[in-house]
Structure 1
Amino acid sequence: MNKVRTMEDMPLSGFHFKMFTYTSGSTFLDGYILGIIAVALSVMQTQLDMSLTVMGLLGTATLVGMFFGGIIGGYLTDLIGRKTIFLLDMLVITIASVLQFYVNDPIYLIILRFILGVAVGADYPIAGTLMAEFSPKKNRGALIGGLSALWYTGYAFSFLIGYFLLSIGDTSWRWMLLSSAIPSFLLLIARLNMPESPRWLANKGREKEANAIVQKIFGAGVVMSEEPEIKDKTSFLDMFRNGYGKWTLFVAVFWSLQVVPTFAIGTYIPVILGQFGFADGKSEYLGSAIINIVYLAGLIPALYLIEKYGRRPTLIWPFLVSSITLFVLGATSGANLSFVFILVLFIIYGTFNTGMGIHQWVYPTELFPTHIRGTAVGFGTGVSRIASAIGTFLFPAFLANYGVAMTMYVCGALFFVGFLVSLFMAPETKNMSLTETSALNKFGNLKTRDFESNQNIN
C-alpha cells in the first residue's frame, strides 16, 4: 500500500522559504525596535525633559507590552485565525512607528512603545506557529530555529541605521523611531498574499478550504496529514489541562532560565569586561563586538545539529556548557588573566547559549495541538519577556553590590537549573509529525515512536 503524501512529507521548496520570509519579520522587528530606542535615547534626552525614571520606562515599555501582546495575541490567533492577526499586528506596528515621529511628550512615547510591544508580542506566537504548521517534519527544527537569527540581524541593523541617521542632528531620534515603519509596512503588503494555516482551518471545521490550500501549494494528491485534525474549541486554560500543563511549565521555565542571563550579560557585556580589568576605552567594546558576532555564528551549527541529533541533546548539553563556562569565569575573575583567555571563555558561552536559543521557537510550536499552539507560544513569549526585563533591570545593581565573580556564579547557577529541568523534562520530537509531537503528553516518546514505525511499515 502506497504511503499517503502529506504536506509534512514534502521536500523543501521555494514556498517554504517564502513563508520563512513572512514569519522571520517578527523576530527582525523585535530586534530592530528594541535596538533603535537605545540609539534614539542618546539624542532624545537632550531634546525632551526626561527623568531617569522616564528613560527607564522608555527602555522597558516595549518588553512589558510584549508580555501582554504575547499572551493575548497567542490566544486570538488560535481563536480567529493566524493570517488575520498577522496582518492586524503589522498594521498596528506601522501606525505606531509613524506616530512616534510626532510626539513631544515622553509620556505619549512610552504609550506608543508599549503599543509596539503589544503588537510585536502578538506577532511572535503566530510566526513560529505558522512556520511549524507549513514545515516538512525533517526540516521543521531548522526552519523554526532559524527565525531566531533574524532577531540578531534586526538588532545589529538598528544600530547601523541609528549611526547613519545621527548626522541629521537634533531631530535624528524622530527619524530613527520612524524607521521601523518601513520594514513593517513592507511585511504588511507581503503578508496579504500568504495563505491561512490549513491546520487552523481544519481545526475550525473548514476542511474543504484547508485541502484546497494544501493542493494549490503542493499539488494534487497531497493531503494535510494522515490523521484528521481534531476539532477542539480554543480555550486559554487548555494549556494547563489534559496533560499539557507540564509542557507549559517546561517551556516557560527553560525559556526564562535561558533568556534571563542572556539578556543581562548581553546588555552589560562592556561593563562586565571592564570588571575583568579590560576597561581601557576600547578593549571592552572590541570584545563586546566580537562576542555579539559569535552569538549569531553560534546559530549556524545548531540548525544542523538539531535535525541531526535531535532536540534533547542540543538543549541539555549547551545549558551545561554555558553553566560551566560562567562558573570558570567567576572563579578566574580576580586572577588577572589575559584578554584573549577571557574572550575565548565568553565566546564558548556565547556559541552554546545562542545555539540552544533556537529551542525557544521549536519546542512551544511542537508540543501543543493546533487549537492552543499559538496560545502556548504566546504564553512562553510573555513569561520570558517579563523575566528578561526583571533580570536586566536588577543586573547592574547586583553587579555593583556583589561583584563580577558572584554575578557569573548566579548566572551559571541559572543555566545549571536549566540543564536539570531539560534533563528531566525535555522530550524528543525529531522527525515526528505535529500530530505525534502534540500527543506526547498522552503516549510518551516510546509509544509515539512505535506509532511512527507502524505507519512507515504500512
Structure 2
Amino acid sequence: MSSVIDDAPFTSFHRRLAVACSGGPLLDGYILSIVGTALIGMTPELDLSTGDVQLIGAAALIGMFVGGALFGVLTDKIGREVMYTADLIVMGACSIASFWAESTWLIVILRFVLGMAVAADYPIATSLLGEWLPLKQRGTLLGFQIVAWYAGSVLAYVVGYLLLTFGGHGSWRWQLASGAVLCAFFLIIRQSTAPESPRWLAQHGKADKAAEMIERYLHVRVDPATLVESDGQAVVHGSLRELFQPTYRKRILFCCGFFLCQVAVLFAMLTFGPQILASFGMPGGTWMDTLGTALLSMVFLIGCLPAMRLIDTLGRRPTIVWCFGLMIVPVLLIGLWPTMPTLLAFAMLLLYAFFCGGPNVLDWTYPNELFPTHIRATAVGVATSVSRVGAALGTYLLPWSLDHLGMGPTFLFAAALTAVGFLICVWGAPETKGRRLESAATVPISIPMARPEPA
C-alpha cells in the first residue's frame, strides 16, 4: 500500500483533491475573519457590549474545540467519506441563517455550529488528502491547506471592505451570509474527487474496494491481498486514550502545544485586527484599518510560500524551530516599546506574520505524518481542538487586555506565549522529511543496551 501511493506519479487527480480538501481551511479563514469587519456595523445596530463582542468572536472557536475532538474520532471509526460533504451543507445553512439574526445569542449559536462544522472538515479532509498524496508532494500540499486558510482570511477582509464601502455598516448581514457562496463552490468541486481513503479501506477489511479506487484514480492495478495492512489481525480502532499512551504521548503533546501557542496570538490579531491597528493610531472603523488587516492576512499567506519549500529542503524540525524563535522578536519589541510610531508597529506585525509561515504549514502536516491510519484523524481533531482553546482564549481576552492592561503588557504576554511554543518545538519537533507515511508514523522503540556479563 505505502509504495503504491507514495511512489505514484503526481497527476491532475491529486491537484483536484488538494483543491477540494482546501475548502474547509479556506472557509475557516473566511468565516473567522469576516466577523471582524461585520462587527463594525453589527456593534451599533445590535447595541453590542464588550462582552457580546467577545462571545461572538470566540463562539466559532469554541465550536471548533467541540467539533474537532468529536468528529476526529468518528472519522477514524466510520471513515473519511461520511461527512465529506455534509459539513459544507451545514456551513452554508448557518451562513444564510445569519442574515436574519436579530439577537446576539442567535449569532453566537450559529457561529458555534459553524465552528463545529469547520472542525469536522479538518480531520476528514486533511487525513483523506495525506493518505492519497505521493511522498514528494505530501509536505507541500498539506502545507497548502494553511495557504487556503489565509486566502480565505484575505478574501474575507476584501469582501468586508467592499461591502462596507458600497453597503455601509448595515451590510454586516451580507458579510456573514457571503460564506454560503464559497460552500456551494466547494460542494460542487468535491463531487469529482475520491470520497474515501484506500489506506483506511484496506485497514478495515475492504481491500477490494481500496484496490478498485487505486486503479480508478491512480491507474495502477494492484492485488487486493497486498493492500491488507493488518496481516490478518482484527481491525484496530483508534481512541483518544491511545493518543495519550506512552507510545504517542510526546507526539500529541508537541502537536497540540505548538499549535495552541501559535494560533492564540494569530487568531486574536486577525479577528480584532481593525481594533489593534486603531490602538496604534490608525483611524478606527474606516477603510484604513480594514485594508491594513487584509494586508496583515496577506503577509501571513506570503510567509507560507517559502516555508512550503523549506520543509522539504531544510526539513520540518529546523523550519519550525527557527521560525518560532524569530516570531518572538517583533511582538517582544512592541511589548517593550508600545508607543512606537504607527508604521513601525505595523511593520513589526507584518514581520511576525511572515515568520509565522513555518509553523503554519506544519499545523496539519505534522499531525497527519506522526500518527498511523487508525488514529490519524483523531490526532488531527485533537490538535485542532486544543489549538482552538488557545485561539478562543486569545480572541476572548484580547479586547479586555487592550482595555484594562494596555498595548505593552498585552504584547509582552503574546511574546511569552510564543516563547513557550519555541521551547515546545525544541523539545518535541521530529524530522519526517523524505519518509513514507507509514514510516513517519512509526514510533522508534528504544531497546536498552545489554550490560556486559561480569568476567
TM-score with structure 1 length normalisation? 0.87
For 2:329, which of 324, 329, 335 is the aligned residue?
324
Describe the superposition over 1:201-237 as per-residue Cα deviations: whole angstroms up to 9, x where unpaired: 1121111111111122112346899884233123232
CA contact (8 A) 1:28 1:150 kept: yes
Tell me which residue corresponds to 2:316.
311
CA contact (8 A) 2:157 2:291 kept: no
**Superposed displacement of residue 171, structure 1:** 6.1
**Superposed displacement of residue 242, structure 1:** 5.2
Task: Give the % identical residues.
Answer: 38
Tell me which residue corresponds to 2:426.
423
Pick closer, same or farther for the CA change 1:340–1:183 going to 2, 3 Å: closer
Tell me which residue corresponds to 1:219.
219
2:257 equivalent to 1:253: yes
Tell me which residue corresponds to 2:390.
387
**Superposed displacement of residue 272, structure 1:** 5.0
Taking the aligned partners of 2:343 and 2:52, their CA distance within structure 1 comes to: 39
User: Aligned ranges for residues 11-90 of structure 1 at < 5 Å?
Assistant: 11-48=9-46, 50-90=48-88
SS at match of 2:102: coil
- Residue range with higher mean Cα deviation, 395-404 or 177-186: 395-404
Tell me which residue corresponds to 1:191.
190
Taking the aligned partners of 1:405 and 1:173, their CA distance within structure 2 comes to: 31
CA contact (8 A) 2:33 2:271 kept: no
Tell me which residue corresponds to 1:407.
410
Taking the aligned partners of 2:446 and 2:168, their CA distance within structure 1 comes to: 62
Taking the aligned partners of 2:397 and 2:139, their CA distance within structure 1 comes to: 33
User: Aligned ranges for residues 53-452 of structure 1 at < 5 Å?
Assistant: 53-166=51-164, 167-168=166-167, 172-195=171-194, 196-221=196-221, 228-230=228-230, 231-241=235-245, 243-268=247-272, 272=276, 278-279=281-282, 288-333=293-338, 336=340, 341-440=344-443, 442=445
CA contact (8 A) 1:198 1:224 kept: no
Once superposed, which parts of structure 1, at least 4 consecutive aligned residues long, lie more than 6 Å away? 223-227, 280-286
Taking the aligned partners of 2:2 and 2:236, their CA distance within structure 1 comes to: 25
Pick closer, same or farther for the CA change 1:280–1:70 going to 2, 3 Å: closer
Describe the superposition over 1:110-154 as per-residue Cα deviations: whole angstroms up to 9, x where unpaired: 222211111111111222211211111122111001111111111
CA contact (8 A) 2:92 2:180 kept: yes
SS at match of 1:103: coil
Describe the superposition over 1:390-429 as per-residue Cα deviations: whole angstroms up to 9, x where unpaired: 1222223334444433333322222222222111211100
Describe the superposition over 1:346-404 as per-residue Cα deviations: whole angstroms up to 9, x where unpaired: 33322111332111111111111111111110111111111111122222333444443
Taking the aligned partners of 1:101 and 1:296, their CA distance within structure 2 comes to: 29
- Residue range with higher mean Cα deviation, 101-110 or 417-426: 101-110
CA contact (8 A) 2:334 2:411 kept: yes
SS at match of 1:134: coil
Pick closer, same or farther for the CA change 1:47–1:275 going to 2, 3 Å: closer
CA RMSD of aligned residues (A): 2.9
Runs of 5+ unmatched residues, structure 2: 448-455
Taking the aligned partners of 2:2 and 2:382, their CA distance within structure 1 comes to: 35
CA contact (8 A) 2:158 2:291 kept: no
Pick closer, same or farther for the CA change 1:77–1:304 going to 2, 3 Å: same
Taking the aligned partners of 1:250 and 1:224, their CA distance within structure 2 comes to: 36
Count residues in correspondence. Answer: 439
CA contact (8 A) 1:232 1:371 kept: yes
CA contact (8 A) 1:58 1:113 kept: yes
**Superposed displacement of residue 306, structure 1:** 0.7
Taking the aligned partners of 1:155 and 1:286, their CA distance within structure 2 comes to: 12
Taking the aligned partners of 1:225 and 1:30, their CA distance within structure 2 comes to: 40
Taking the aligned partners of 1:181 and 1:443, their CA distance within structure 2 comes to: 51
**Superposed displacement of residue 192, structure 1:** 2.9
Taking the aligned partners of 1:398 and 1:177, their CA distance within structure 2 comes to: 26
Pick closer, same or farther for the CA change 1:218–1:320 going to 2, 3 Å: same
CA contact (8 A) 2:207 2:228 kept: no
**Superposed displacement of residue 73, structure 1:** 1.2
- Residue range with higher mean Cα deviation, 9-18 or 143-152: 9-18
Letter in 2 for 1:213: M
Describe the superposition over 1:155-202 as per-residue Cα deviations: whole angstroms up to 9, x where unpaired: 221233334444456863333322222221232233233221111111
Runs of 5+ unmatched residues, structure 1: 445-458
**Superposed displacement of residue 317, structure 1:** 0.6
- Residue range with higher mean Cα deviation, 108-117 or 44-53: 44-53
Taking the aligned partners of 2:167 and 2:225, their CA distance within structure 1 comes to: 55
Pick closer, same or farther for the CA change 1:139–1:224 going to 2, 3 Å: farther
Letter in 2 for 1:252: C
**Superposed displacement of residue 343, structure 1:** 4.4
- Residue range with higher mean Cα deviation, 426-435 or 153-162: 153-162
SS at match of 1:390: helix
Pick closer, same or farther for the CA change 1:78–1:387 going to 2, 3 Å: same
TM-score with structure 2 length normalisation? 0.87
